[in-house]
Amino acid sequence: MLPNRCAMVKDGRQCPNPPQYTVSVASGPDEYMVGVACETHRQTVSGRIRQLQEDGYVPSGSVRFAPLRPVGTDCIRADPDDLVSIRPAAERGD
């Protein structure tokens, strides 16, 4: 399972948008998932990860953003309302 909101927190308030990307760091043959982000905060999250890399808290390597996609299987049925909820609030008209 993934968080239902973007990982960005500003002034103690979490971003209300659902995640649109998984954020990972590719370091050599390994890749580490470090969070999720919405389109609005993609650049901010990228900059923060680069700062954490410089400080030695996150492995050095390239920052990758992979788009999230809804999945439905025989075991997990996708509800049309759930598919709408992964879009940012601005696109939904909330």
| Residue 35 scores a pLDDT above 70 | yes
| Residue 3 scores a pLDDT above 90 | no
| Residue 81: band (very low, low, confident or very high) from pLDDT cuts 50, 70, 90 | low
Which position has the token pair 């709408």?
Answer: 84
- Provide the pLDDT for residue 10: 87
- Provide the pLDDT for residue 75: 66
- Provide the pLDDT for residue 63: 95
The pTM for the full model equals 0.68
